[in-house]
């Protein structure tokens, strides 16, 4: 049986740029002012023969990639790909707010949360899903342009839609940083030239090229352990009890995650 891979399948020809998905996401996830977890890109208007000028709208968010450069850039293991869902997650207890992952994302899908002092991005509305609801952007869309689900489950709506359009699927990628995104557009989408090359910190790039994921995290933690604790004390207000719990749990979470990833 294939491991789950939650993803978005989008018919961007249905998008009317109402921004309902963007607004509902900000409310549902308490996204701070000036930042967004999702977006709608606009193509340059083109002239369609006999139909006048037209414009294409492209919904997007974190792509939950199969080859996530943000994971490779993280020095503490806070950003990781969950084998149980295929989603790229952020462990706020391990994040030191260094910003490496932000520059390493070709899609600009991450930002530093000003209050929490950690990296933040789309998590497909984890709190809503915990209550049996879909992501806010999916439920809000009036034209049902977005479909969410496990594309490795042949009975899911997302998998059925993807299979029915397999020869017409488009993925937005940066050719120098193809992270193999799990956001699939049906038939066509535009624009396609807005991504950027992933920027990896030089020491992390060398380590990512040379080490296995488990060793990379271990080396990163060993080299940055003291900095991580100092950074969290300076950047994140927290109680003494929380700090002690975080220090005790940090190594356990990374060890457990490495075991899941290697399995």
Closest by CA position to 37, among listed 26, 27, 24: 26
Percent of the chain with pLDDT over 70: 73
Question: Tens digit of pLDDT for each residue in 74-118?
Answer: 999 999 999 999 999 999 999 999 999 999 999 999 999 999 999
Q: What is the pLDDT of residues 37-83, one digit of tens each?
A: 999 999 987 655 455 557 889 999 999 999 999 999 999 999 999 99
Give the pLDDT confidence of 169-226 residue by residue, as tens digits: 999 999 999 999 999 999 889 999 999 999 988 765 555 555 555 555 554 554 444 4
The pTM of the whole model exceeds 0.85: no
What percent of the chain is predicted at pLDDT more than 90? 69
Nearest residue to 36 via CA among 144, 122, 123, 140: 122
State the pLDDT confidence band at 262, using cuts at 50, 70 and 90.
Answer: low
Asked if the peptide bond before residue 191 counts as cis, ω within 30 degrees of 0, the response is: yes
Cβ neighbours of residue 93 closer than 8 Å, sequence gap 6 or more: 78, 246, 249, 250, 253
Q: CA 68, 72, 78: angle at the middle one, nearest 5?
A: 95
pLDDT given for residue 55 in this prediction: 85
10-23 per-position pLDDT tens digit: 999 999 999 999 99
SS3 67: coil
Burial tier of 209 (Cβ tally within 10 Å: 0-12, 13-18, 19+): exposed
- Of the candidates 90, 52, 46, 56, the one whose C-alpha atom is nearest the C-alpha of residue 71 is 90
193 Rama sector, left if φ>0, alpha if ψ -120 to 50, beta otherwise? alpha
């Amino acid at each position: 049986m294939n491991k789950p891979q939650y993803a978005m399948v989008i018919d961007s020809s249905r998008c009317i740029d109402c921004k309902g998905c963007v607004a509902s996401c900000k409310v549902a996830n308490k996204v701070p002012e000036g930042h967004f977890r999702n977006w709608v890109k606009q193509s340059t208007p083109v002239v369609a023969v006999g139909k006048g000028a037209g414009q294409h709208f492209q919904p997007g968010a974190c792509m939950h990639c199969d080859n996530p450069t943000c994971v490779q850039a993280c020095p503490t293991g806070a950003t990781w790909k969950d084998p149980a869902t295929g989603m790229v997650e952020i462990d706020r207890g391990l994040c030191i707010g260094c910003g490496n992952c932000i520059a390493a994302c070709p899609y600009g899908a991450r930002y530093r949360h000003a209050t929490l002092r950690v990296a933040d991005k789309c998590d497909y509305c984890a709190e809503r899903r915990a209550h049996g609801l879909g992501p806010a952007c999916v439920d809000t869309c009036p034209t049902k342009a977005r479909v969410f689900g496990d594309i490795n489950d042949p009975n899911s709506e997302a998998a059925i839609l993807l299979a029915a359009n397999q020869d017409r699927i488009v993925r937005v990628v940066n050719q120098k940083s193809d992270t193999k995104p799990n956001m699939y557009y049906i038939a066509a989408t535009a624009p396609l030239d807005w991504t950027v090359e992933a920027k990896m910190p030089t020491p992390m790039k060398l380590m990512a090229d040379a080490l296995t994921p488990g060793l990379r995290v271990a080396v990163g933690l060993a080299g940055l352990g003291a900095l991580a604790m100092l950074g969290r004390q300076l950047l994140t207000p927290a109680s003494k009890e929380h700090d002690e719990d975080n220090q005790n749990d940090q190594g356990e979470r990374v060890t457990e995650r490495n075991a899941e990833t290697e399995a």
